Structure 1
């Protein structure tokens, strides 16, 4: 079961024909009685995107973009795990496992892979080079769909540790945002410190109660708390539904491409640094590339189940992470931690970055800033820790 098998993305004509037929037969609701996104994704824009998808979008784009890279599958705990493995031309490049979240996919990273693995060709130093392993979360993309319960964040973290062992890496780092940040944080708690260099996150959670113990929140922290409260009250309905009844939700989204499109793209608008113009951050093609992964893999229900498996036990858990850590706080993300707040959970925080632009899907929306933040964060992981911190041997 430890066999590593080559893989290529294939999208059949039958899948494409079915998709176009379903888009043509969409039964639309009436127009919303507001002139903004406050009720959800506006009808006119869903119709515009769906029309572009059916008539102008290159249905083989996703396959073309991903098949430029080596891809594999391997079976871990009964689930096939799909992953990209992108080697660096730089000898001794740092291995790093990079994990997406929901409603993202491995497509989030297509703009940053080449600069990270080959920095010399993209304005960086050879010492910044990484070798990337980019898996699809269980139930997402081309990874298998777990048929048993228990696939929590912690179980995925253990699977990623096993994957890196299988690939023969003796020392490696982890990076992630959204669920990928939670998986990477769990890796920071569970992995052997002799093997884990550390973690870099572009999204993080920490206990608000711990912030209050530090004294009065600063103005910045008050804004972060208000944003967190707004996100929970006004934007958290998707998580409640996916965390409680993902199967029910899955029937509609798996049957309707327009429904799947709207469910995903609304989050790209809400969580990105785009103001009122979503396409100032993502092209139609880029939005549809990510939706296409969910549609062709029929992953609406299986991806939503990660919330059911993990919402209560993982998102609500703020266990300390002792591994060397780096955190980049992108300004338009739906959750933001001040540096001292982050340190209440990430006890060996060696880098705190504040890029000027970008949101929740940072690698996709602001790839240049994301690359610089990952480079800076990974550099900090191998620097000398503070005197009171545990000493981790440098990567060589």
Structure 2
């Protein structure tokens, strides 16, 4: 495939928007199981209102324009068409920074944080802390998806975005930041491509072991983590088993029904954000729908499940017992879904230089708390310039 980047601008066809609205108008809703709202998954009353808003009031074109305000490109890499944003920093020596989303996120996660990283002076910061930011749609996600293309697990994703940074954009060394699967890919890069990584900043400790056998003599904090993890796996982890074993079957319903897709994704916004049970306290309705609509219009939900399948079938961030030696930082948000303690993290990250306990925020850090996350990223990489 062609390795020369091609400028890109997103424009969803009018007929595709009309088809979406028609499907939303024909939604069949289930009944609401007795019990508390959200106890068994997405609340029916909430979703009815969200579907009505999506059909009648949501302005996709405004969200599309917000994305198109940033320079975007496509390039042929690893057998796919890779989509990415590339924003030059406004400072004397901007550090290249690879910014990585996860599931059920997308590049829409980063629209508020990008300017804080590329132009810190605009927000009262020091222009010497500016980054040149590269934000790919992970392979298989959003605009980095075409029907029947190859599937990517975490190591394959890391190889692909590494080649974007080195071979396409010419960055010999760069920093990397991520959450969710983005944190897994960032950690894989820090392990497998250590010579090229200036530092790794994550807001989910994906590389830390979740196996109780890895903690034969757990500290009190590690015991707390293992207890929390067991409860979370029992009550919240079912999606991992489904997406990691039968992704194709699930994809039929979510590819055919926009309301079904919204129900599957918005439940994660509600459960994993610092929202007090109401997702729009943490993330705006329009930005949530922009993310969901991006999955809908690109038809990428099936391919987006693939890292789960890969993880359950042998793909690893790093082999058990191995470590990551590049300078590392962790932003610990209080409502993150899985929260390993410092002692567990430093078993993997042997040069863990920054550990910030955040006052608020959850799993979707760049969406929920862009200012806090940007400040933490600038502080960490400021010590490595």
Mark yes or no: TM-score above 0.5: yes
Q: Deviations over 1:152-203 (max 9, x none)?
A: 211111111110112011221111010000000000011151x320111010
Distance in 2, matches of 1:307 and 1:145, equals: 19
Looking at structure 2, the residues matched to 157 and 176 of structure 1 have their Cα atoms a distance apart, in angstroms, of 12
Q: Distance in 1 between matches of 2:319 and 2:243?
A: 18
Q: Which runs of 5+ in 2 are unaligned?
A: none
Determine the C-alpha separation between the residues in 2 that align with 1:286 and 1:248.
28
Distance across 1 between alignment mates of 2:375 and 2:13: 37
Match of 1:374 in 2: 377
For residue 390 of structure 1, what is the aligned residue in structure 2?
A: none
Cα RMSD (Å): 1.8
Q: CA offset at residue 145 of structure 1?
A: 4.1
Structure 1 partner of 2:37: 36
Q: Distance in 2 between matches of 1:210 and 1:241?
A: 24
Distance 1:147 1:353 in 2: 42
* Counterpart position of 2:128: 127
Residue 314 of structure 1: how far off its partner (Å): 2.4
In the alignment, the residues of structure 1 paired with residue 276 and residue 47 of structure 2 have an alpha-carbon distance, to the nearest angstrom, of 18
Scaled by the length of structure 2, what TM-score is found? 0.94
Q: How far is the alpha carbon of 1:42 from its aligned partner?
A: 0.8
How far apart are residue 327 of structure 1 and its match? 1.0
Corresponding residue for 1:171? 173
What count of residue pairs does the alignment treat as equivalent? Answer: 379
Tell me if structure 2 keeps the 8 A contact 1:202–1:328: yes
Contact 2:199 2:327 (C-alpha < 8 Å) held by counterparts:
yes
The superposition leaves residues 220-240 of structure 1 with CA deviations (integer Å, 9 ceiling, x where unpaired) of 444332221122111111111
2:324 matched residue in structure 1:
321
Indicate how the Cα distance of structure 1 residues 140 and 149 shifts in structure 2: closer, same or farther if over 3 A, else same: closer
Cα deviation digits, residues 298-321 of structure 1 (max 9, x gap): 112111123213334227955421
1:246 aligns to 2:247 (yes or no): yes
Distance 1:315 1:154 in 2: 7
Note the residue ranges of structure 1 that are not aligned, 5 or more in a row: 383-394
- 1-structure distance, mates of 2:194, 2:204: 23
Q: State how far apart, in whole Å, the 2-side matches of 1:143 and 1:309 are.
A: 18
1:379 Cα offset (Å): 2.5
Report the equivalent of 2:77: 76
Aligned counterparts of 2:89 and 2:350: Cα–Cα separation in 1:
31
Identify if the C-alpha distance between structure 1 residues 279 and 164 changes in structure 2 by more than 3 Å, giving closer, same or farther. Answer: same
312-321 or 197-206: bigger deviation: 312-321
**CA pair 17-374 structure 1, distance change in 2 beyond 3 A:** same
The answer for the alignment partner of 2:103 in structure 1 is: 102
Equivalent position SS for 1:352 = strand
Kindly report which structure 2 residues correspond to 1:234-383, keeping only aligned pairs within 5 A, or say none.
Answer: 234-312=235-313, 313-314=315-316, 318=320, 319-380=322-383, 382=384
What displacement does 1:76 show? 1.1
| Deviation per residue, 1:114-143 (Å, 9 max, x gap) | 011000111211222111000001111100
Question: Which residue is equivalent to 2:192?
Answer: 190
Deviation for aligned residue 1:333? 0.5
2:182 to 180, 197, 212: 180
Answer whether contact 1:75 1:81 (CA < 8 A) is retained.
yes
Residue 47 (structure 1) aligns with: 48
Query: For 1:258 and 1:99, how far apart are their aligned partners in 2?
Result: 27
Distance 1:43 1:172 in 2: 45
Paired with 1:8 and 1:66, the residues of 2 have a C-alpha distance of 9
2: distance between equivalents of 1:191 and 1:107?
27
After superposition, the Cα gap between the structure-2 partners of 1:152 and 1:146, relative to the gap in structure 1 and judged at 3 Å, is farther
The answer for the alignment partner of 1:117 in structure 2 is 118
Which SS does the other structure have where 2:134 is aligned?
strand
SS in 2 for 1:326: strand
- Distance verdict in 2 for CA 1:254–1:232, change over 3 Å: same
The answer to whether the 8 Å contact 2:187/2:317 transfers is no
Q: How has the CA–CA distance of structure 1 residues 216 and 192 changed in structure 2, closer, same or farther, with 3 Å as cutoff? A: closer
Q: Take 1:175 and 1:241, find their aligned partners in 2: how far apart are those partners?
A: 28
The answer to whether the 8 Å contact 2:176/2:199 transfers is: yes
How far apart in 1 are the matches of 2:223 and 2:124?
37
